[in-house]
Structure 1
């Protein structure tokens, strides 16, 4: 019966109902229907839900209805892992509170001048949304007082822990009044999250959106097998074939986002890159361009894409398959929003990707269908059909055509026939298409060395990639011995042109080889296939990287974390 519920059945105020109606929503989502009554009754809540399920409104509506507009002090605090998500959440709160007189909110995060935020807090607000680091800054400056806060929400709590915010979160929670509501929203519920709930919550109500509900039913999911160097060509064809207005493309590294963006622009497609190297001002500018349709394709990494909230995204491309299943669900949740249909298209470049597709199907309990790439003939037929529609559209307009008719008369007076004039005009419209579009063999030959290799690969690199791939994610030896987990490699000598790095994390930190490969590849742009042997001991780890990339890896990774734990990384002295 939950599907028949309306927002008026949830016990929310008339002002909120009016705002919800203005936003075009009639029926609450499952997470909203289950969470809003619990929060209005004053319970602590653990909510398991993904982006795109309506979880923001699930906690924002009760917050807005419970704060006292006559008290201009922070009464509710929402913590988010990224600036983008914080801005998105606060924007949703503003929309929902538009008819609630006296209720105001502010968003505080790093990368923006703190003076503006201080002025906003001094002016007086009831709801504060922010990132843990900047919230801590304001607490230490005593510009944010939590004495009147009666509810705190941790949005995407698992992401915050993975990004190393656990200590900040515990300090913030410890500084709050004991009499409060504590709400956790998380896509997954790993042990660290459950440890926090036991420590800081009181008899929480668990609200769980089942996995089958996490993948939106109106998203068509498919994949194409394609040679790695031809991924850009295939994606360009698909964008042109389907005439997508807004698309999001996901890559696993910052370097890849820049390369794909440049490739799309070179093909005449308006694209912008979004990744961690951009300043907050640059990221805001990119997102504004995308929302307004001034660029049609947004190319992003997973972390940078947190907080993308654009209802009209028609397709998500997994240019690189994500490193884990949860990220896949987060990615495709960027389309198919607000009741609209959407598409999720993934590119498979080798056997390993094929296995990953199978794992994704098991995880989401939905089939991902294999499709054949569009041919040059398909694209030409599309252009022909589009031209015919454009002709009818132009002729249907009532306007003064005298100038154009005079031009036709001039051409006919030159001795040309009407057919020749029409042929010349069609050539002018479609000639470039015939030059650009060529028949391509996108098919991946799994019997040869072009599988599992990068865009600049060759047979030798393909073989090396496969050899390492077989050994990449070795399980720890359960029979004891040296107490280390490792990728098998030649014990007598390190691979040539490789440097050995020391990392201060080991098995006690639950670090696995794929965590290290994923972190280094994702943050530094060094291809995962080029990372060599990995030896994981109880308290530390050794990893081999190309000598030419060693300094770059050390510089970038020193300011990063693995599984939320800060790194000390340096050249091995041994």
Structure 2
């Protein structure tokens, strides 16, 4: 694929500059922004997540026959495109791709809203759709993909480049800040991937793209998009310039009301596809709490816990960067192989840390909230809440608690979650968690080795 040059200034800049990250001081909770979480998931999911969930399809025309495919050959792709798919290591369509691809490739074109978590093949699906619909003989932009940040747009572009590497006549351009734009000069690149502000400028201010000639419009990471200032309105302004017969494809990791309301404004008469979420279950996770008198006592309890539990790998969550740094240093002094993950790190650095942990280079991962979601490491058997998760009001953050302890007990295996409690406020939070999930959390005395061995069997 031929690629429009990106300036050196763009490539050399800080890759997190436009990610919408918030720099919190050590006294505050460390929470990654949605765009950073999404990018992190894209970086660490180098292969498709094995997902047994069923696909739910709601068709715009219920009388239309429902098609799904089990092989890429059934899609009757161009040979060079099929070769590109296989070269990326895709042997068969994922669950979401089985139903989404026939709809995206159908004639006449059909609109689609697809919801599925990271790692299930959404990006590859709509990239394949764009590459399939391009007519290289037409020297103008035919496919437009909008993502909320530079980094996410670049990730999508790289998938297009890899998948289309045997399609030399198909050209790609990046509409992101820093890319050269010449007023009045029409782009000849067939596919444009970019951020809303720059794409809007290229369509209206610089007239580089004729929106009426766009046949496919993709909105990626819709849940992130609508939470970033200005992006929602810019996306809607782009959409309004497109022709009525342009195919609209909207992808989102969540399906909240805000996403649905946004989708209704952008995607008329859509087919809707989503993976049915697995029941969030705590059945395979034993939960305990340990009463402590401060951080040093918490640390001693943690060391006692290690003494009687055969642990493959552990994730320990802290509320602040300062506490996480202290704990990681203390554990390292005790001889443990420790990795540290916090929001002050760039996203690619976080991805590298997670990759080392996944490969077993470190056995303990100390983290703030930045990795409570989306990381599936089969070897994790213990999660420790060194600090209980709380919201801005100081009440239990039940959703974060579930995501945290869900790092253990993955794939049906048994896991353990231990909560460190060192104040009356912590006990109130623990009771709130018990009431919310309707489960008793067992008290654990880490100084009583026999009791621990009985409970942790």
TM range (shorter): 0.5 to 0.7
Task: Name the counterpart of 2:178.
Answer: 115
SS in 2 for 1:115: coil
**Pair 1:252–1:177, CA change in 2 (3 A):** farther
**Pair 1:356–1:208, CA change in 2 (3 A):** farther
Which runs of no fewer than 5 residues in structure 1 stay unpaired? Answer: 362-366, 379-438, 444-574
Q: Is the Cα contact below 8 Å between 2:405 and 2:417 reproduced in 1?
A: no
**Pair 1:9–1:194, CA change in 2 (3 A):** same
Task: Name the counterpart of 2:225.
Answer: 160
Distance of 2:127 and 2:233 partners within structure 1: 25
Matched, 1:38 2:103: yes
- Deviation digits for residues 311-352 of structure 1, max 9, x if unmatched? 978549575558667767887999999xx9999875534563
What displacement does 1:46 show?
Answer: 1.4
Higher helix share: 1
Task: Name the counterpart of 1:572.
Answer: none
SS in 2 for 1:34: helix
From 233, 247, 251, the counterpart of 1:185:
251
From 176, 179, 191, the counterpart of 1:127:
191
Q: Relative CO higher for 1 or 2, CA cutoff 8 Å, sep ≥ 6?
A: 2
Matched, 1:207 2:273: yes
**Pair 1:326–1:352, CA change in 2 (3 A):** closer
- Deviation digits for residues 371-428 of structure 1, max 9, x if unmatched? 98999989xxxxxxxxxxxxxxxxxxxxxxxxxxxxxxxxxxxxxxxxxxxxxxxxxx
**Pair 1:142–1:251, CA change in 2 (3 A):** farther
SS in 2 for 1:77: strand
**Pair 1:271–1:20, CA change in 2 (3 A):** same
1:311-330 equivalence runs, <5 A: 314-315=379-380, 319=385, 321=389
Distance of 1:168 and 1:322 partners within structure 2: 34
Task: Name the counterpart of 2:22.
Answer: none
**Pair 1:125–1:161, CA change in 2 (3 A):** same
**Pair 1:26–1:255, CA change in 2 (3 A):** same
Task: Name the counterpart of 1:52.
Answer: 119
Distance of 2:149 and 2:399 partners within structure 1: 17
The alignment's C-alpha RMSD in Å is 5.3
What displacement does 1:33 show?
Answer: 1.1
SS in 1 for 2:214: coil
TM score, norm. by length of structure 1 = 0.48
- Deviation digits for residues 248-274 of structure 1, max 9, x if unmatched? 776666666655655566565453434
Q: Is the Cα contact below 8 Å between 2:141 and 2:187 reproduced in 1?
A: no
SS in 1 for 2:272: strand
SS in 2 for 1:212: coil
Aligned length in residues? 360
1:336-485 equivalence runs, <5 A: 346-349=417-420, 350=427, 352-353=429-430, 355-356=432-433
Distance of 1:180 and 1:335 partners within structure 2: 44
TM score, norm. by length of structure 2 = 0.58
